[in-house]
Structure 1
Amino acid sequence: MSQDLKEKVILVGGASGGIGLAAAKMLLERGASVALHYRSNADGLKQLAADYGNDRVLLVKGDLTRRDDISAIVSATVEQYGKLDAFMSTVGTALRILPFLETSEDTVDTTIAVELRSVIDSVRAVLPELIRNGGGRIVFVGSDSGKVGTSGESVSAACRGGAIAFAKSIAREYARHNVLVNVVCPGPTDTGLWDDLVKNDEFGGKIGNAMVRAIPMRRLAQPEEVAAAAVFLMSDGASFITGQAISVSGGLTMC
């Protein structure tokens, strides 16, 4: 399977995060050419470009909450490689876990802009390219909170739930164009963001540690475990899977 994505072109939104970076590495190992989006930090992505070459790695900077930036990122990808086969979004907010009534209006607006609106706007930009290409894949990395809710993350959970419903709707509308759309829903995952949430905040630590204790496998997911599910959904092995929200949470959510 090391070359099962050879000649595929995949755009990864939020590629500099833990899951995004793990997915980027897997995609390159499997032969894909990748456009790797980042907003500010490109350190890990530059190393991938050095390892795999600029002919297979395109770094694209932008803010996915800005429609003009999204259009420019998609255009740069297609200009570089001549097509687009798949889009993966891993974007999320790095905000504190807080009770709903203690969540500021600015936090509400930012969370909706990043975790829902950017997903909708990104799909609006990539979908015509996938259709023009004869089909393709869209994978969102969301959260199990979108299925069951999470204390302290009510607005984020609402966005993740909205993204799942959006994915299912787009999957129904565009299956005839051979565009397959799915969501990977991780639970607690061992990233720098998770460490910051649970170690530097008393309320976040209380909620986060309770979530980990509730995982039947009794451990956090590794970024590579979540990324592997997303990469599979972009492979030929997932050619009859669409409209699904797949939990990668060690059994925390079984639905």
Structure 2
Amino acid sequence: MDLGIKGKIALITGADSGIGLATARMLLEEGATVVLNDKTTDELQKAAESLGNDERVLHYSADITDPDALQEMHEKIKESAGTIDILVQNAGTTGETGLFHELSDEGWVQTLEEDLLGPVRVVKEFLPDLREKGWGRIVFVSSENGVQPYEDELPYDCSKAGILALSKGLSRTYAKEGVLINTVSPAFIETPMTDKMMEERAEELGVSVDEAIQSFLKEERPFIELGRRGKPEEVAAVIAWLCSDKASFINGSNYRVDGGSVATI
């Protein structure tokens, strides 16, 4: 399917692996120029190389919680590619986990800084580009946790709920200027973040990683009827579509790519 984004410039944060990298690959295949961002340097370089020797692939490391670093990256993108048309805000972290009485103030602050204020700062920095062009797409990657909180991930839950509110609020403000803003909420996808979670679970239970995954599905995510983790490409396909001209009447929506994990309509 031709998504109508050939020649567009897309910035994807959190793009050194997983959903971000899969999204970059799909947008690149559709003819867009892709700018990969992450905090890493070496991993980001490897991610760019995995997309092939293509002049339409750029990469810049920057911490999205640092406004100065974002501004510096913004200038580099303008110099090398121009102003962006598409922003996919995917960067984030699990943050501090544990039951509420076990969580520190520092853990709350750090998680909210990375998973909520970081995205706010990214949009603040790059939204003027989209408004100036009169055509733009912003896609936030939230999580099932935003509507179905888990008791041992409350800072992350609250951050992702905040992303849903942020996306909806922004969509009401800027649609009239041609900037459409939506959210995608995955659940239990094959990414380095869930790899780490399952490795820790396997060690804690004294079982293999595969056994840890199956026990997690049975005990913690019983509504994923497919009985597996999702693939990054399955999330990226929805993101890419929302970035396209095909989604020209979609605004302020949240698309769950969760295998049924959220136990409500």
Q: Same fold (TM over 0.5)?
A: yes
The aligned residue for residue 120 of structure 1 is 120
Change (3 A) 1:208 1:118: farther
The alpha carbon displacement at 1:89 in A equals: 1.0
Alignment of 1:24-43 (within 5 A): 24-40=24-40, 41-43=43-45
Alignment of 1:27-176 (within 5 A): 27-40=27-40, 41-48=43-50, 51-53=52-54, 55-95=55-95, 97-176=97-176
What is the rounded CA distance, in whole Å, between the counterparts of 2:153 and 2:176 in structure 1? 36
Q: Secondary structure at the match of 1:148?
A: coil
What is the rounded CA distance, in whole Å, between the counterparts of 1:227 and 1:212 in structure 2? 21
Q: Secondary structure at the match of 1:230?
A: helix
What is the rounded CA distance, in whole Å, between the counterparts of 1:103 and 1:109 in structure 2? 11
The one-letter amino acid of 1:28's match is L
Q: Secondary structure at the match of 2:237?
A: helix
Matched-pair contact (CA < 8 Å) for 1:212–1:220: no
Deviation track 1:133-162 (CA, whole Å, cap 9, x = no partner) reads: 112000011101101212211111101001
Deviation track 1:33-65 (CA, whole Å, cap 9, x = no partner) reads: 01110211224323146x142x21111111101
Change (3 A) 1:188 1:155: same
CA RMSD of aligned residues (A): 2.0
The aligned residue for residue 224 of structure 1 is 233
Aligned length: 252
Matched-pair contact (CA < 8 Å) for 2:96–2:107: no
Q: For structure 1, which segment, 114-123 or 207-216, has the greater mean C-alpha deviation from structure 2 after superposition? A: 207-216
The one-letter amino acid of 1:17's match is S
What is the rounded CA distance, in whole Å, between the counterparts of 2:91 and 2:73 in structure 1? 15
The alpha carbon displacement at 1:190 in A equals: 1.4
The alpha carbon displacement at 1:81 in A equals: 1.9
Which ranges in structure 1 are unaligned for 5 or more consecutive residues?
Answer: none
Matched-pair contact (CA < 8 Å) for 1:28–1:52: no
Matched-pair contact (CA < 8 Å) for 1:2–1:29: no
Change (3 A) 1:195 1:112: same
The one-letter amino acid of 1:147's match is V
The aligned residue for residue 248 of structure 1 is 257
TM-score (norm 2): 0.89
The alpha carbon displacement at 1:198 in A equals: 2.6
What is the rounded CA distance, in whole Å, between the counterparts of 1:59 and 1:86 in structure 2? 15
The alpha carbon displacement at 1:182 in A equals: 0.6
What is the rounded CA distance, in whole Å, between the counterparts of 2:3 and 2:257 in structure 1? 24
Which ranges in structure 2 are unaligned for 5 or more consecutive residues?
Answer: 206-211
Matched-pair contact (CA < 8 Å) for 1:186–1:249: yes
Q: For structure 1, which segment, 30-39 or 99-108, has the greater mean C-alpha deviation from structure 2 after superposition? A: 99-108
